[in-house]
Structure 1
Amino acid sequence: MIAVDMMIHTIRRNMTAASLLAGDADFTPLLNALSNEGMFVTLIHPPKASKELLAAADARRPLSARQVYDWLDPPSQARFGPFPTPSYGNASHDGNCQHIWSNDRLGIEIWCELIHDTIWASWPEPERSDRLSLRGGNWANTLRVASDDYGIQFPTELPEEFRHLQGS
């Protein structure tokens, strides 16, 4: 239905630009058809969107896990549990943390902030000559943001003593 509606509005000239939130290559023919009809299409996409789909769009806007979380109302946000907040700088964990995991080759450190029972993760961000930290989330949300928004891979499971932080 999305494809039909977008084509009808394009052909009838009811709009001058279109935006599509998608990541699947199945939408590539739609973007090609819209473009052939003179429609300017902005693709709002997840980090792992199809290369073909990305190439078919006139403009691209990556969508982050944080953006989706921020769009939710407070009750929906609460169902996800604590969500990490990114920051830059050389700040590190404090004395109220316990080491969970690290990758010395990549400079990744992951700690449990004991007072708040949340995750603190940090790694070098070469483009900014700084470190990026994700702080205050449960494991599932920190893992999701690190992977989807920054391309950083952590282990999928926490050690036994930290499993209560995993979230959903």
Structure 2
Amino acid sequence: MDWSTGYSSPSTITYMFVDAASLRGCTRNISRRFFSDQKFEFDLTRMVSGYNRLFYYDALPIRERDEDETVYLARTAEQRAVLDRAAAVDGVHVYEGDAHRRKNKGQGGLEQKKVDVMIAVDMLTHTFRRNMHQAALLTGDNDFKPLIDALVREGMNVTLWFPPGETNPELVNAADSRRPLDLQTLWNWMTDESRIRFQIPQPVNKDPAIEPGELLREWIQDGVRFQLRMDGDVFIVLRDGDNLNRLHVPHQNFELLVLHCKSMGYNVPDLPN
């Protein structure tokens, strides 16, 4: 074997840093709004795809004063199990901002590691050491704007994944690239079991001659004709294509359908009075 050419590393190395509280909060808000407050779990194997490494940061709830340890462990068992499954995924590294008893018993009290500080230190360290060419940060916390500003000043290309409608524009505009955590993105990252329950619109191409149900609205956007129809209890957005295909986007929940279509770039008008 000829080793004279030396080691060949990936041409572009990208790390992703995930503020789990932001991801969980975004998903919880959508769940409360559309899915009766169901809990959904993410498959880190799917999240890490496209990245060389993914760093996942979460903070377990603080143990309350005088709370029995058995009770505390039971209360946090579900979240601990999620973190254990995440840590077992190749390319994923989990860091906990948990609350711990101080090693020196004489000091007493609890010592909590701050997740935002951990993320900032790690992102800056990897940037200064040139371990990565690009960085992706998932958060909606505006406290991270100074971090993004510092990374950009150091020449790091930063992509921000953020909860749309919940994130300060200053944070969004600080990044080089912006990626909203829309319904399709969240669905793509979920476990198979969660995907079944996270029932978002599933677009499908059909024969242009098929026009189901009753026509509610029709409009032109960017030179393309759209229709809003209702077939039984299902709302359907139709987008003209070619002679063989017409896109159908169906769902029973009109508000959820509008939100999903907005992420696709389709502006659905209000229902007629």
Could you say whether these structures have the same fold, taking a TM-score greater than 0.5 normalized by the shorter chain as the test?
yes
Unaligned runs of 5+ in 2: 1-114
| Change over 3 Å in CA distance of 1:90–1:44 after alignment to 2 | farther
Unaligned runs of 5+ in 1: 126-130, 160-168
Counterpart for residue 74 of structure 1: 192
Match of 2:251 among 137, 146, 160: 137
Match of 1:118 among 218, 223, 234: 234
Q: Which residue identity does 1:43 align to in structure 2?
A: L
Q: Distance in 2 between matches of 1:21 and 1:135?
A: 28
| Change over 3 Å in CA distance of 1:89–1:147 after alignment to 2 | farther
TM-score by length of 2: 0.42
TM-score by length of 1: 0.61
1:76 deviates by 0.9
Q: Distance in 1 between matches of 2:269 and 2:198?
A: 19
Identity score, percent: 30
Residue 161 of structure 2 is aligned to residue 44 of structure 1: yes
* SS in structure 1 of the partner of residue 264 of structure 2: helix
Deviates more, 1:29-38 or 1:136-145: 136-145
Q: Which residue identity does 2:252 align to in structure 1?
A: N
Q: Distance in 2 between matches of 1:44 and 1:34?
A: 16
* SS in structure 2 of the partner of residue 110 of structure 1: strand
For residues 1-168 of structure 1, the aligned pairs below 5 Å read 1=115, 2-23=119-140, 25-45=142-162, 48=165, 50-81=168-199, 83-85=201-203, 93-94=211-212, 97-99=213-215, 101-102=216-217, 109-114=227-232, 118-122=234-238, 133-139=247-253, 140-150=255-265, 152-155=267-270
Q: Distance in 2 between matches of 1:132 and 1:25?
A: 41
1:66 deviates by 1.6
1:29 deviates by 1.6
CA contact (8 A) 1:27 1:53 kept: yes
Q: Which residue identity does 1:29 align to in structure 2?
A: P
* SS in structure 1 of the partner of residue 267 of structure 2: coil
Q: CA RMSD in A?
A: 3.9
Larger radius of gyration: 2
